[in-house]
Structure 1
């Protein structure tokens, strides 16, 4: 089925990142989420073609390069992959997740299953992750790119410890959201939030795996206890 013939609510629930796109174009996927994209764009006086293109790009990202064996990539290819597939994506994901979480908490804060405190937790995660990624971009990755990875034991050790902290934050996220389980009667915003959280969790875990078990192992193998 064409994106144009699917409802805003369906697209928001199915494609991670669609909520940010709809918000940019002021398309109401929550209260008016039963409208098709075609109708919503027409009523808003918008050209639907760029929106459809962006949705296609977001959809492609889900399976982008999923089958490639990154252990066979060069150091430079692997660093570039991490920067584009994970660092850039996390910087898109987290602000939108915070926005959706605040909206859900504001509208549904009186419900016992509302994830109160989630927005603050995501903001804290965003700050910690940004600090972590900047250290990699300014210190570790330039060393690797310049062929100095064998001298990067200390930065790699620090990055591994921070990865453990990210794991703890993911566990707290699961506690706040009943392991990101969407309530049966959740609105479109709530559903989109949890879809985005599941995608973020999968991406962050894949990000950590790619660094710990592929890139870092080339220069500073983890100690087995």
Structure 2
């Protein structure tokens, strides 16, 4: 891949160069739900100096070529069955542990600080919505999508319909994440924040990062060929 090709989508760049996620985070570029968009268009839309971003991507690509030792996960080379198993073992397992933990932390923080920080009610509401949506989303993937994604020729219409549903749900989750970041002012802690408050925001940011990678693997690698984007 020519990293500086203006016809590259964001998702294609990340699929080829995983370190690009760090660069895109730095500039606030959505690489999961927005992975189908052309990078050049997003840079122009967000008024980002494109030469700076492309130079950083090129440098990361050169470092990858020079230092790559064959270790680590090459997600593009994984079969659909192996990648599905990886997503379930890594990201689904993480969510099943993190979602109830964060819910409990936010409940404690809201009771202790809600009177002085009313934005916490919106944080609690949005997270509750995200938690409920993700819990059914994981079951849908594990029950309906993952078992047939490696047999697409036999189930082409079904996998295409499911892909549309999955990506739509990813976009909804991405919007909630953006709202949470906006309400919390990028998870900025107030002066009177306690350790539990700090841990809750830390865990929300960790959740955001994990979901971005999770969604990227599905939208831009596992299901890309069945998407109508």
Task: State the distance in 2 between where 1:221 and 1:155 align.
Answer: 10
Task: State the distance in 2 between where 1:150 and 1:124 align.
Answer: 31
Matches within 5 A, 1:119-138: 119-138=124-143
1:111 partnered with 2:121:
no
**What is the SS of the residue equivalent to 1:178?**
coil
Partner of 1:179: 186
**What is the SS of the residue equivalent to 2:73?**
coil
Deviates more, 1:181-190 or 1:204-213: 181-190
Partner of 1:92: 97
Question: What 5-or-longer segments of structure 1 have no aligned partner?
Answer: 1-65
Residues 131 and 99 of structure 1: CA distance in aligned 2, closer, same or farther (over 3 Å): same
Question: What 5-or-longer segments of structure 2 have no aligned partner?
Answer: 1-70
Equivalent residues, number: 157
Partner of 2:214: 207
Residues 182 and 69 of structure 1: CA distance in aligned 2, closer, same or farther (over 3 Å): farther
Task: State the distance in 2 between where 1:189 and 1:135 align.
Answer: 33
Structure 1 residue 167: Cα displacement: 1.0
Asked whether the equivalents of residues 164 and 227 of structure 2 are also in contact (C-alpha less than 8 Å), the reply is no
Structure 1 residue 116: Cα displacement: 2.3
Higher relative contact order (CA 8 A, sep 6+): 2
Taking only aligned residues, the RMSD between alpha carbons, in angstroms, comes to 2.0
Select which of 161, 165, 168 maps to 2:172.
165
TM-score, normalisation: structure 1 = 0.64
Structure 1 residue 120: Cα displacement: 2.7
TM-score, normalisation: structure 2 = 0.63
Residues 155 and 190 of structure 1: CA distance in aligned 2, closer, same or farther (over 3 Å): same
Asked whether the equivalents of residues 163 and 227 of structure 2 are also in contact (C-alpha less than 8 Å), the reply is no
Structure 1 residue 185: Cα displacement: 4.0
Partner of 1:140: 145
**What is the SS of the residue equivalent to 2:120?**
coil
Task: State the distance in 1 between where 2:195 and 2:115 align.
Answer: 18
Deviates more, 1:150-159 or 1:91-100: 150-159
Task: State the distance in 2 between where 1:67 and 1:194 align.
Answer: 29
Structure 1 residue 221: Cα displacement: 4.0
Structure 1 residue 136: Cα displacement: 1.1
Q: Could you give the per-residue CA deviations for residues 50-91 of structure 1, whole angstroms, max 9, x where no partner exists? A: xxxxxxxxxxxxxxxx94221111211100111011111111
Q: Moved runs in structure 1, 4+ residues, more than 6 A?
A: none
